Amino acid sequence: MAGENEIEGRNRNGEQMHYSSTNLSSDWPFNGSNDLTNTSPTIWDHNPTNSQHLGAFCDVNLQNNATTSSSALGFRKGNHIAPSSWSPPNSAVKRGGVFLPPPPAATSTMLPHTLSQFPADSGFIERAARLSSFSAGNFEDMMNPFGNVPESSLSPYSNRPVQGQPQDGFVNVIKSTSGEGSKDTPPPVDYETNDGSQPKHDARQGGSGFSGNNLPGEAEYSEGGQDETSNEGFGSKKRRRSDQDTDYNQVKRSSQTPNEATRNNSEIQQKGDKNPNSIANKSSGKHGKQVSQSSDGQKEEYIHVRARRGQATNSHSLAERVRREKISERMKFLQELVPGCSKVTGKAVMLDEIINYVQSLQRQVEFLSMKLATVNPRMDFNIEGLIAKDMLESRVGPSGTLGFGADMAMAYAHNPSQMASIMQGGLSGLGSSSDAVRRTINSHLLAVGGVYKDPSSQLHDIVQMGLNPSGTPINTQNLGSTPPSHLKAEPQKTF
Amino acid sequence: MSASQQLTPTNPNSALKIRLAYRFLLTLNTLNAKKPPNFDHTQIHRRSHRVKIAAYASMASVVGPKRAWSRAILWKIRNRGMLARNKKRIHRISTPIRLHRHHARRRRNPNRVVHVDPFVNSGLEVKLRKLVPGAETIDPCGLLDETADYIKYLATQVEVMRNLVDLYSTI
């Protein structure tokens, strides 16, 4: 059940991947609690080369921690208060609605969103426990670049001053948490030694303990919902202590598993990259596509390179597999392009089909060019009829093949009346459709219309001007308004 | 722009069709201006050859130099005089490199079972390489890409030409 929720949440997040920070702020509050666990992978995909990459980093770290280790919860809490007191558009935050991020610091814009998003659900802890992939280790190492932190801020109580005096801003919070994180991981055993009954003491003792302290606060936030704002910071303190005993056990469980699972991880950034990908693997391919394009390349690579169970893992077979998948992907495209190829299975047969199609097309070009060479001495720019017929064909569908057969019989027939009789059906609707075409095309082509007074002399100019499809329909207009007499006269000069 | 974006099949692409038709008509027009057709057999043959070249040229010029096949077509058309003069040399140059490699491998150890997917080993790929212009030396993935693009444009061109023929025969 929780897994499904996660996937859905991921979906939603994937759609919002490209947000600027304003979108973020507006969107977060409405996202359900499910997003808690899921946002981190999507944000990981954020291209770190962005100017905002600092903010993205912070974000990711925060959320990773929040999902796994309880240490982030306190962090988050502190942050949650910070934006409201710190940045001008406090009222917006209180409403839980649009939050206009202050431009100067990217980190400042990113952080509040994570915060506002988190408190919605108390049950997220259990889900976090299941997401064993995220590590406190990540958190620590990622935060280090940000915190050049004096030891004083490392004490677990550093969070509380922030809550009490929100004016300090979340920068304080970052420092403190980063310090805690760094302090936290070296003795990971502390998580296990903690007792549910003494969370406070543990918190005072070291960074490892602060998780216990902060988590109940989280749970309490969930009760309050999203309306909680800066003043919540004070009230939450009291309530937190009352709630500690009940919630702490849960928290402990959640915090332990990720820690142990990821303690061994040396390459943190890589891991951070990989984990979302693996999750994306589980969720279907569709979801992967919705994620931002910058991340797509990475993600696809990972998806391809990953060896499934029982598959060979040496580099050659991996590369071979990648190649084969690429080929099959292209084959799918081709399958859509080549008619009658959709039912065929097997690459060899499909290739055969494709080759036949290409050959037939080339032969058709040859044949049609021959017919064009014979059939027509008069080259006038009557493209209107062409377009109209195109539209007709697209409407009717495969009538083109029939027409072609008829043409083959008539290949050398210069008698227009015969052809007219054959084409009657097709031409019947020509008037209306051509009108429609003209109307649609003329609207944006009138500007160029003056060029076309003398098509023969100025054609090359037009080509060099880079006139694209727009060039032709003008002609059609001219033709439509005035009978094609002057245009027809032009080729006759050549005789 | 990625290949997948370019290859997404769009239902009758009218803009593309119009562009193709425009180019083609331009070249046809100049062709007509140069040489008024008279209905001699050899004349017709030559003329149809010209029209064919015009068709391919219009296709390739619409695509521009961003595709291997269009580049190859344009190059061939531009140098067709030279190509006709020394066909053999060019042919030797343009034989696919991959072919040689495969033959060499087979000769070296005919009993070894090389497990490669049928795409490479069957002669189909070579066939396809011959069909798609400029695809002699690209890798299989690129070959399929090029083929898809080529098919797209070729089909559109055929449609345009067919419509033209219909049109002229009705006039």
Q: What's the rounded Cα separation, in Å, for the pair A191 and A193?
A: 5
**pLDDT per residue as tens digits for the range B129-160:** 888 888 888 888 888 888 888 998 888 889 88
Cβ atoms of B69 and B150 within 8 Å: the answer is yes
**pLDDT per residue as tens digits for the range A121-165:** 445 445 544 544 444 444 444 444 443 444 444 434 434 433 434
Q: Do B159 and A393 touch (CB under 8 A)?
A: yes
Tokens of A168: 């300090």
In 3D space, the residue among A405, A476, A484, A389 whose CA is nearest the CA of residue B163 turns out to be A389
Nearest to A334 among B33, B148, B157 (CB): B148
**Do A337 and A387 fall within a single domain?**
no
What is the reported pLDDT for A129?
46
What is the reported pLDDT for A360?
92
**Do A462 and A347 fall within a single domain?**
no
**Do A443 and A483 fall within a single domain?**
yes
Provide, rounded to the nearest whole percent, the portion of chain B with pLDDT above 90. 0
The interface residues of chain A toward chain B in range 381-410, judged by CB-CB distance below 8 A, are 381-383, 385-387, 389-391, 393-394, 400, 403-404, 407, 410
Instruction: Provide the CB-side half-sphere exposure for A254 (13 A, CA).
Output: 31
**Do A44 and A54 fall within a single domain?**
yes
Task: Tell which of A254, A277, A303 closes a domain.
Answer: A303
User: What b-and-e string marks burial along A269-290, b requiring 16 or more CB atoms within 10 Å of the CB?
Assistant: eebbbbbbbebbbebeeebbeb
**Do A130 and A233 fall within a single domain?**
yes
Q: Do B15 and A376 touch (CB under 8 A)?
A: no
CB atoms closer than 10 angstroms to residue A202:
21
Q: Do B12 and A334 touch (CB under 8 A)?
A: no
Query: Pick the residue with more confidence: A15 or A130?
Result: A130
The backbone torsions φ and ψ at residue A176, rounded to the nearest 5 degrees and listed phi first, read -60, -45
**Do A165 and A146 fall within a single domain?**
yes
Identify each DSSP E strand in A371-410 by its residue range.
none
Q: What's the rounded Cα separation, in Å, for the pair A4 and A55?
A: 29
ipTM here: 0.76
Distance from CA of A27 to the nearest CA of B (A): 29
Q: Do B170 and A423 touch (CB under 8 A)?
A: yes
What is the reported pLDDT for A114?
39
Nearest to B55 among A331, A369, A471 (CB): A369
**A310 interfacial to chain B (CB closer than 8 Å):** no
Nearest to B21 among A369, A383, A416 (CB): A383
CA-based nearest residue in chain A for residue B40? A374
**pLDDT per residue as tens digits for the range A425-444:** 333 333 334 444 444 444 33
In 3D space, the residue among A167, A266, A203, A196 whose CA is nearest the CA of residue A73 turns out to be A203
Instruction: Provide the CB-side half-sphere exposure for A164 (13 A, CA).
Output: 7
**Do A332 and A425 fall within a single domain?**
no
CA-based nearest residue in chain A for residue B117? A324
Q: Alpha helices, DSSP H only, in A263-382? A: 268-282, 285-290, 293-305, 315-337, 347-375
**pLDDT per residue as tens digits for the range A19-78:** 333 333 333 434 333 333 333 333 344 343 333 343 333 343 334 433 333 333 333 333
**Do A294 and A325 fall within a single domain?**
no
Kindly list the residues from chain B whose CB atom is less than 8 angstroms away from the CB atom of residue A383. 18, 21-22, 25
In 3D space, the residue among A209, A187, A189, A188 whose CA is nearest the CA of residue A198 turns out to be A209
Task: Tell which of A357, A375, A393 closes a domain.
Answer: A375
Specify the residue for token string 């928290």: A251
Q: Do A387 and B161 touch (CB under 8 A)?
A: no
Q: Do A370 and B148 touch (CB under 8 A)?
A: no
Query: Pick the residue with more confidence: A65 or B18?
Result: B18
What is the reported pLDDT for A380?
52
Distance from CA of A317 to the nearest CA of B (A): 11
**Do A328 and A408 fall within a single domain?**
no
Mean pLDDT of A452-468: 38
Provide, rounded to the nearest whole percent, the portion of chain A with pLDDT above 90. 1
Mean pLDDT of A400-408: 36
**Do A41 and A150 fall within a single domain?**
yes
**A370 interfacial to chain B (CB closer than 8 Å):** yes
Flag whether pLDDT at A411 surpasses 80.
no
Class of residue A405 by CB neighbours under 10 A (exposed 0-12, middle 13-18, buried 19+): exposed
Count of domains observed in chain A:
3
**Do A113 and A202 fall within a single domain?**
yes
Q: Do A469 and B54 touch (CB under 8 A)?
A: no
Interface A–B counts its CB contacts (< 8 A) at 208
Residue extents of the structural domains in chain B: 14-113+123-170
**A355 interfacial to chain B (CB closer than 8 Å):** yes
Nearest to A337 among B29, B132, B152 (CB): B152
Q: Do B7 and A400 touch (CB under 8 A)?
A: no
Q: Do A362 and B49 touch (CB under 8 A)?
A: no
Task: Tell which of A303, A338, A359 closes a domain.
Answer: A303
Flag whether pLDDT at B122 surpasses 50.
yes
Flag whether pLDDT at A372 surpasses 70.
yes
**A371 interfacial to chain B (CB closer than 8 Å):** yes
Contacts of B49 (CB under 8 A, 6+ apart): A369
SS3 A386: helix
Mean pLDDT of A273-282: 41
**pLDDT per residue as tens digits for the range B20-59:** 888 888 877 777 776 665 667 787 888 888 888 888 888 8
Residue A490 domain boundaries: 376-494
Q: Do B154 and A469 touch (CB under 8 A)?
A: no
**Do A364 and A421 fall within a single domain?**
no
Flag whether pLDDT at A260 surpasses 80.
no
CA-based nearest residue in chain A for residue B45? A370
Flag whether pLDDT at A318 surpasses 60.
yes
